[in-house]
Structure 1
Amino acid sequence: MRVGLFIPCYVDAFHPEVGIATLELLERLGCEVEYPTDQTCCGQPMTNTGCHEESAATETLFVRNFAKYDYIVGPSGSCVHQVRFAFDAIEQTDEVKAVRAKTFELVEFLHDILKVEAFPWAEFPHKVALHNNCQTLRGLGIASTSEQRRAYFSKPIDLLSKVRGIEFVELTRPDECCGFGGTFSVFEEGVSAKMGHDKVRDQHQAGAEYVTSSDSSCMLHQQGCAERLGLPQRYIHIAQILNGARQ
């Protein structure tokens, strides 16, 4: 299958290693991957702040870049959520609807589409806490939520359990927002920082050596909070672990 690799702008700017790991992992699993080099922002920052009309140009470009692929895969649940559920600043043609429907976050693509059963190259002998981005968790349904009475499931845990040596630690409030929230962290800096401090303290008290997520944006925020508090845990994207990183 032909996969268009969608790398969010903040990953490209701050965590290019996550984009590289995503590319390598998909190729290991037999996908024919292409990276459209003129891709830009998906428009999420504008949409989140109510500037829907300003998102139209980025949405149009996204469709032009990715319409030809069987699937579009990105290592960011919040950006994928934007495409699937908030991509409405442009006319909803059949082409636009098709692009939205075939855009997947990396974990759900590996779990639901490729149905990966093993990562024989991967070993990560560390105590790990999982963080699920709010939009990924509640918008994309990547895992069950603690506030709902439904059977437990976790696509990230299911994939990570196939990695040798990994040990999971439980957080006191696993589904609580870390406070990043995209532009929320800019407009409500104090609240965002306090929520982040609560989150990273919970991770530290649980004994996590590493915290992993499918969203680099949350990792970036939490890493900054942990460093300011002098906490030792480290942060790593799930694509890097599944691709064989050992740190």
Structure 2
Amino acid sequence: MNTAEINELQNQLHQKSPRIILKKALAAFDNIAISFSGAEDVVLIDMALTIRKDIKVFCLDTGRLHPETYRFLEKVRKHYQIDIDVLTPDRVLLDEFVKRKGLFSFYEDGHHECCAIRKVEPLARKLAGLDAWITGQRKDQSADTRQHIPEVELDKTFSGEDHALIKFNPLLNWSSAQVWDYIEAYQVPFNELHERGFISIGCEPCTKTVLPNQHERAGRWWWEAETKKECGLHAGNLKGKF
């Protein structure tokens, strides 16, 4: 798919509903997968299975997730009777990093190096074998880094010279309230941590509960500036701030 075709597809899908975007994505690509980590992604899985039964789903196991998140992963697998490809960090890279900097260096020098090893590298390996992927990004997840992303785009972060990777963001224009309305209406599984004040859930050392009226990303990497609250999976959102 060339630039003109991507632009045409974006024009077709601009402001369209998540179901329409998913249907178009799954029809356009056989070699496509849904990235799964949180509530939004299970909504996408729930919708996608009504369109196509053979969807591919993957998730990242950083080795630092909450126990509740691992139980959530298994709950989703069993609820939908689907395979989930669990991606893990490169052992050599991770062992060297931990030996050199310990287990909590991100509190001192930022989360990006740790995320690059535990999340970005295994994701890059996975995406190298896909033509397109589907994410649960929403504009209202960040007032600073997610306001200008489109419904469909060329993923410049993970595309290569001979590999054009397309990224779909079907829930882009949904609010958190819409996501949770869907979860309640369709009895979609969710992480039990959401019932304890966690909204945006990542690795255990880097996630905390948020106070009433705080933004949902306030609990992620709370010791860093708002403009840095991307882990590298969507580094293209940062436009030079990463």
Higher RCO by CA contacts (8 Å cutoff, separation 6 or greater): 2
- TM-score, length-scaled by structure 1: 0.30
- TM-score, length-scaled by structure 2: 0.31
